[in-house]
Structure 1
């Protein structure tokens, strides 16, 4: 990404495409037989964090899917996500510690949009308690106004996006296996702001999804299940091969040059 222009917020065309989000839920219902063939988990605890100005109801589909896949799933239970207000991150970390103690196992963290920021920051603070981090449409790099939600963030949180003291460290990759799931047709967040620096323990997975529907999009759900099913201590990068090339159609190379690079 070096030498490229600073990512901009998605344009009106992509923003209008966010209207397809309800259809992504229907797509998940229609493809349920396929989703039920997603990798089964080992029962370890998973906490799911909602996006900006939303609550646990919006992650119900994702949590029920993961529960069906064999995980002990938990909501964040902090009400509406109004940003990292005083005490919120601390309460989330306490919950992770509690689940780690009660289950005797590391906790995986899944965050949608702003919820992914919580997941990443908690993993940085509690690496011995966190097994893996998965984010969906989470903007952890680039300019904080490279989204169509920054005004909503300022209204909900009561603070300017540039004033968050964590901005300088958000881009730093958590010290645990980390996956960023993103979409080039995201109408809320500039997809380039979701690109993770890839290492042996960090990766990017591109799906065909809207921002508002990503947490209930069938390809995103399958990818989350696949990532969580990695044996602890034996994490490997997502395999885009298989199913006679179908995976390569559903999960494109996030580093390719493409149609929506300038949107």
Structure 2
């Protein structure tokens, strides 16, 4: 695989700096009575199990609000219960990043398998940022366990399209650290897991301060749907519009799947999408 022909740009510095203030507004919107009332109208859940997977540096508390929403909507929502999603040692090579991801994916697979065995049902996975990378990979390696995947601002594509890439370079005190240049190997190992068998919904945002569209989407795959929403990166886990789309996707019958149809959504939802 040759990645030299196109190197994605990470989000701009202005978008990165605006991320946290935007997230604060999203949190306030979630608690506003108009959105609370709107979110009471999401499609009723069928009770199937869901696991939420936090982003890099996050723990289960970062997605607690989303799980409460999903339980109220009628789903059996679970935390991942694997502690903080954080590598403790200094990362200097792509192989170290891959090793950390593989370790976390293995732990997540065991957690999902336990829930699937206990409930007798496949599990839907919702992964935020790096958590979405694990979910995407797990669906490829263990499709027998996974009903569907929803990723929230997850860098499932080229890591050079993320703000983290520049942070890694600075951490390693080099403009172009040779140890972090094996992107071809990274992408090949991520994309060599065979034909996709699990429905995947990718939520990405033009206002994401950490992950650009080029790093977040998967193109030309019939089982993948890329949906653009207005969200900060930090705010994906408590953005009311994101909640609505998640509930809509989780309500889909795996055997009669329908793509997200904005024209079938309430006017308030359509208005928010039309602002993009």
TMscore range, shorter length: 0.7 to 0.9
DSSP 3-state at the match of 2:161:
coil
Aligned pairs for 1:148-227 (under 5 A) are 148-150=163-165, 166-171=186-191, 174-227=196-249
Instruction: Tell me: CA distance 1:182–1:252, structure 2 relative to 1, closer, same or farther (3 Å).
Output: farther
**3-state SS of 1:87 partner:** helix
* Cα distance, 1:146–1:201 mapped onto 2, change above 3 Å: closer
User: In the alignment, which residue of structure 1 is the partner of 2:12?
Assistant: 11
- Once the 2 structures are TM-superposed, how far is the Cα of residue 106 of structure 1 from its aligned partner? 0.6
Aligned match of 1:74: 78
Question: In 1, distance between residues paired with 2:128 and 2:191?
Answer: 16
Q: Corresponding residue for 2:66?
A: 62
Q: 3-state SS of the aligned residue for 1:6?
A: coil
Unpaired runs of at least 5, structure 2 = 88-98, 172-178
Bigger CA radius of gyration:
2
Q: Once the 2 structures are TM-superposed, how far is the Cα of residue 107 of structure 1 from its aligned partner?
A: 0.4
From the two aligned structures, give the one with the greater helix fraction: 2
Q: Name the CA distance, whole Å, in 1 between partners of 2:56 and 2:85.
A: 5
Alpha-carbon distance between aligned partners in 2 of 1:64 and 1:187, rounded to the nearest angstrom: 26
Match of 2:155 in 1: 139
Distance verdict in 2 for CA 1:93–1:133, change over 3 Å: same
Aligned residue pairs: how many?
248
- How far apart are the structure 2 equivalents of 1:53 and 1:152? 14
Does the 8 Å contact 1:141/1:171 carry over to 2? no
| Counterparts in 2 of 1:57 and 1:214: CA distance versus 1, 3 Å | same
Contact 1:135 1:179 in 2 (8 A): yes
- The secondary structure found in structure 2 opposite 1:204 is strand
Structure 1 residues not aligned, in runs of 5+: 259-263
Distance of aligned partners of 1:54 and 1:61 in 2 relative to their CA distance in 1, 3 Å threshold: same
Relative to structure 1, the CA distance from residue 252 to residue 139 in structure 2 (aligned partners, 3 Å threshold; closer, same or farther) is farther
Scaled by the length of structure 2, what TM-score is found? 0.81
Residue deviations 1:125-172 (CA, integer Å, cap 9, x gap):
111111000000011112x232112366687xxxx6656865324357
Residue 22 of structure 2 aligns with which residue?
20
Using the size of structure 1 for normalisation, the TM-score is 0.85
Closer/same/farther in 2, CA of residues 223 and 161 from structure 1, 3 Å limit:
farther
Q: 1:63 to 1:11 in 2, by over 3 A?
A: same
The corresponding residue for 2:95 is: none
